Structure 1
């Protein structure tokens, strides 16, 4: 490319901006959850229809994979954007607010999708200059549904026979960065996220006679506090971890001690060793704090996504 190519590319991007804003707002009005996003998929397919791309859709999910073959040999680079929304009510008065009562694009995936459409248009217009191949990966199911794994199983990364993907790029918008800036670094960048579910089991009774019951509520509260201390005293400060208890459920009325109390949250870690340590320690703390009060704790730690580690 010539020395003026980046400036020309930016000019073209700005020319696309109004249409991409319209696309993003259309996606924002119609958020979809999980692996099956038929309206979102249709929007993406329509936006790519006039481009010189080879397009396939998923078998088990509403994914879109579009491939651009450049005019010259070179590496295969994958660009990825996620498409699914969150099960959350939108409380705004924007003209493009969500039209669904319990779903919204609170995490910016509508913007990621529009950006990837824009990248496809910009690069397709420069196909004659392009060295190599670009794979545009439109992924459902980022919010806990494992959409990337399904797409990998269906072949988005290619095979050894066709050379596979040489490099992959993804990004996430952030309200903490100034518009027009990029933040990147090598190594662990986004944490692994595992779920935490603890059921403290005691013995129910009447609130007027707690000595005749085994109240799981204060036990659960003590577990929450002990988990925070555990992190600060067992996890290396330069290999950090976070344990967040985001929900506590117990009881149904004011004068009955319940039999159980439940804790729900997440564990976030950046390295495999700390991830393993944290999982072991969370279970140990919950079991032993409960045992100290004569109660029991059932601990479930479903594994979530691994950390993002940039080379």
Structure 2
């Protein structure tokens, strides 16, 4: 069938009848929880106030709920009316160390903290999806794991939850998983994703260049690490363009270069710090091997020693082709045919849902929430201190989470 025919057939499925309307009926709950979380953002793996808010939102539902030990996670399991597979739905809870300047009436009340990436919206939508699916549990053959995760912003929260058993929390291994990620720079309500790589790995690296300090007027009596470090910047950019295919790219950025204390002193050391982003594990490993070699040889040519450190971040996020295709079909069926476009290109930002996608067939999809009256390419983006998400898009997210579970647990 064509995509339009598939969407039409799915739209006629009685399991999806009234699904979007049910999500809209839950909108007051969704918005209230989102705003509560937004006022009180928390960072990292320890988010006790957010955890308590989630637990309160799930009260009264027939769920098996557990709290994390290594982090303030919440895992809630909904059992359907009949045996079947297990599906996982993820929402993250942590915020960013960003002072909020959005001007919202419910702006952050915590100094220097803000839900600038929309994790408050993910949590609220997932809690409402739990309530919606609970009301339709007679249609479920299997179980749903609702994964409320802290520590997505660099603290490997998903890995902590995997180690604590989230993928087997329902008593049977997860067979499919979905995470939605809101974005202010896409049309409100539109759900989009793509098969294959959708987000990049993220590793931070530091190179220290050591020479011999001296007087700025007599560089021949010193070994200057500054020109060596400067040469490394250009050589690293050339390395990326010459050693890696444009069809399996690497992005290398030197974000910081520091040396010296004053104008007439040649320092003993200089330091480079940067990030590496790739869409495949092979390119990631090769690039991390090449960076120290390039710096070592450039340093040696200048008479300097070098040392290299890497802080390993998230692996690439790769969507399962079948699951991604089904998500797009469901978006067309439940939200309307204009709501399920294929995302043309991956993003070079990173996501720790990648750990889930390494273990089970999974898809990360984006939900547009550009505020009304603003063009998507002009809206303050995620991680901006002024980002603002259109709350009317939340019902589409709740419906998509629910449709994915209902479809998988037929």
Distance 1:205 1:96 in 2: 55
Select between 93-102 and 262-271 the one with higher mean Cα deviation: 93-102
In structure 2, do the counterparts of structure 1 residues 165 and 214 end up closer, same or farther at CA, with 3 Å as the change threshold? Answer: same
Root-mean-square deviation (CA), in Å? 1.9
Residue 271 of structure 2 is matched in structure 1 by 262
Select between 81-90 and 275-284 the one with higher mean Cα deviation: 81-90
Contact 2:15 2:139 in 1 (8 A): no
Shift of residue 303, structure 1, vs aligned partner: 2.0
Query: Which structure carries more helix by proportion?
Result: 2
Structure 1 residues without counterparts, runs of 5 or longer: none
Distance 1:100 1:258 in 2: 41
2:126 to 113, 116, 121: 116
2:295 to 275, 280, 286: 286
In structure 2, do the counterparts of structure 1 residues 57 and 272 end up closer, same or farther at CA, with 3 Å as the change threshold? Answer: same
**What's the CA shift string for 1:17-67, capped at 9, x where partnerless?**
232122112212211111111111011111111211110000111000000
Select between 162-171 and 232-241 the one with higher mean Cα deviation: 162-171
Residue 75 of structure 1 is matched in structure 2 by 85
Shift of residue 295, structure 1, vs aligned partner: 1.1
Residue 285 of structure 2 is matched in structure 1 by 276
Residue 70 of structure 2 is matched in structure 1 by 60
1:182 aligns with 2:186: no
Shift of residue 209, structure 1, vs aligned partner: 3.0
- Other structure's SS at 1:105 match: coil
- Other structure's SS at 1:68 match: strand
Shift of residue 293, structure 1, vs aligned partner: 1.0
Residue 29 of structure 1 is matched in structure 2 by 39
Contact 2:81 2:142 in 1 (8 A): yes
1:165 to 143, 168, 174: 174
Distance 1:42 1:204 in 2: 55
**What's the CA shift string for 1:260-306, capped at 9, x where partnerless?**
22222211112222112111111111111111111122111232211
Structure 2 residues without counterparts, runs of 5 or longer: 1-9, 321-410
Structure 1 residues 1-311: aligned runs within 5 Å: 3=13, 5-158=15-168, 162-311=171-320
- Other structure's SS at 2:291 match: helix
Select between 182-191 and 61-70 the one with higher mean Cα deviation: 182-191
Distance 2:100 2:212 in 1: 40
In structure 2, do the counterparts of structure 1 residues 40 and 253 end up closer, same or farther at CA, with 3 Å as the change threshold? Answer: farther
Q: TM-score normalized by structure 1? A: 0.93
Contact 2:42 2:94 in 1 (8 A): yes
Distance 1:50 1:189 in 2: 37
Shift of residue 7, structure 1, vs aligned partner: 4.6
- Other structure's SS at 1:27 match: helix
**What's the CA shift string for 1:163-201, capped at 9, x where partnerless?**
211111112222332111122222122111111111111
Count of residue pairs brought into register by the alignment:
310
- Other structure's SS at 1:79 match: strand
Q: Of the two structures, which has the highest relative contact order with CA contacts closer than 8 Å and spacing of 6 or more?
A: 2
Shift of residue 4, structure 1, vs aligned partner: 5.2
Distance 1:38 1:166 in 2: 30
